[in-house]
């Protein structure tokens, strides 16, 4: 029998960008992997990828995939963990190359090299590098479905506001452009010629085009499905409510919620330890609150499992809990 989650994807086949977000350690990676597995088993070509520097797709698939690009896990399913550090180094090299090409210099001036190093050390640069890598993945368009295993909430909000981060980066590049004008004029005087075109401005326009494309995907409810993962605990519920409100401010469409690690109430009729009985009772109260707060937006309740979810057999088990036997 198909679940509400399966029904939502079946009724919205154009939603090919699927994201799981929430606090760290709640099951985002597990559900990302299970969704990718489920779609791949139905014949769709799927990429699940992580933008979390602490990614655990390698652990859950029991394969070393970090920084290796898309790695085939099984027919129709690829997984990828983005290496932000390597991406930043590629950035640095690209900036150096463009400066040398644009101004006909043999080497990057020391003060500009210092600027490149300083800019690369900023936290925004890592986020920007990850964002840029994601844009590359999406623009390539090789897959039917893209499953985003997002970073924990605070970083996810930052990630989802990357357009603003990029604007800051563009401002810095513009400032660099102004600083380099001095060198440009000097080189032009030496060569007694004028620069015919402003390639830096072309670069800025190219970046803005990429921003607009990625932002349009993130905020397009027709193409994007964003699911919050939570567990029946008071602080997690409160954090999820706050985060959902912030996501709405960024115009990120929320498609629903998935509640993880639900303890079976059937155990209350058995001889179980007192602490476990208390936890089940506590969860029962919080589940009532979740139903009151989120209503039919909760698309699945996934029980606590007896072991960690690693390996395809366990991933298949979670996929069945999420989607039942339904078809997308």
**Least confident among 123-127, 144-148, 228-232, 241-245:** 123-127
> Contact, 267 vs 276, CB < 8 A?
yes
- CA 29 – CA 52 distance, rounded (Å): 10
Mean pLDDT of 5-24: 90
pTM of this structure = 0.80
pLDDT digits (tens, 9 = 90+) for 299-324: 999 999 999 999 999 999 999 999 98
DSSP type of residue 24: T
DSSP 3-state assignment of 176?
helix
HSE, side-chain direction, 13 A CA sphere, residue 204: 15
pLDDT digits (tens, 9 = 90+) for 98-147: 778 777 778 888 877 887 777 666 666 666 677 777 778 887 889 999 99
Nearest to 223 by CA among 325, 138, 322: 138
pLDDT digits (tens, 9 = 90+) for 17-42: 998 888 888 999 999 999 999 999 99
Alpha helices in the chain (DSSP H): 4-11, 28-41, 57-61, 84-103, 110-120, 123-140, 153-160, 162-191, 199-218, 234-249, 274-294, 312-323
Burial annotation 88-109 (CB, 10 A radius, 16+ → b, else e): beebbeebbeebeebbeeeebe
H/E segment holding residue 325: none
| 222 vs 117, residue with greater confidence | 222
> Contact, 19 vs 227, CB < 8 A?
yes
DSSP 3-state assignment of 167?
helix
pLDDT digits (tens, 9 = 90+) for 44-94: 999 999 877 666 899 999 999 988 999 999 999 999 998 877 877 887 787
DSSP 3-state assignment of 54?
coil
Q: Which residues pair with 191 in a beta bridge?
A: none
Measured CA distances, 178 to 104, 172, 185, 224 (Å): 17, 10, 11, 39
Per-residue pLDDT at 196 exceeds 50: no
Q: Which residues contact 30 (CB under 8 A, 6 or more apart)?
A: 60, 260, 309, 315, 318
User: Tokens 């909000």 map to which residue?
Assistant: 157
């Amino acid at each position: 029998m198909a679940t509400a989650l399966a029904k939502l994807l079946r009724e919205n086949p154009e939603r090919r960008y699927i994201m799981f977000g929430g606090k760290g350690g709640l099951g985002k990676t597990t559900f990302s992997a299970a969704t990718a597995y489920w779609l791949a088993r139905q014949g769709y070509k799927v990429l699940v990828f992580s933008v979390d520097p602490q990614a655990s797709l390698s652990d859950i698939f029991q394969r070393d995939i970090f920084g290796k690009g898309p790695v085939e896990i099984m027919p129709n399913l690829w997984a990828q963990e983005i290496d932000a550090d390597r991406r930043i180094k590629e950035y640095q090299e690209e900036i150096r190359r463009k400066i040398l090409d644009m101004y006909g210099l043999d080497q990057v001036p020391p003060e500009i090299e210092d600027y490149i190093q300083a800019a690369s050390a900023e936290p925004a640069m890592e986020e920007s590098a990850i964002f840029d890598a994601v844009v590359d993945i999406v623009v390539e368009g090789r897959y039917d479905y893209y499953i985003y295993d997002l970073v924990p909430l605070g970083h996810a909000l930052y990630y989802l506001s990357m357009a603003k981060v990029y604007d800051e980066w563009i401002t810095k590049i513009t400032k660099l452009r102004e600083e380099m004008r001095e060198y440009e004029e000097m080189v032009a005087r030496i060569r007694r010629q004028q620069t015919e075109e402003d390639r830096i401005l072309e670069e800025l326009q190219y970046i803005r085009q990429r921003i607009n494309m990625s932002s349009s995907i993130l905020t397009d409810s027709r193409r994007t499905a964003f699911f919050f993962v939570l567990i029946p605990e008071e602080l997690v519920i409160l954090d999820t409510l706050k985060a959902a409100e912030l996501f709405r401010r960024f115009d990120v469409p929320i498609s629903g919620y998935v509640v993880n690690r639900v303890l079976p109430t059937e155990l209350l009729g058995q001889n179980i330890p007192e602490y476990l009985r208390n936890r089940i009772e506590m969860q029962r109260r919080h589940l009532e609150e979740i139903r009151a707060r989120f209503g039919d937006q909760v698309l699945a309740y996934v029980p606590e499992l007896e072991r960690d979810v690693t390996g395809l057999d366990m991933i298949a088990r979670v996929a069945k809990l999420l989607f039942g036997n339904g078809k997308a």
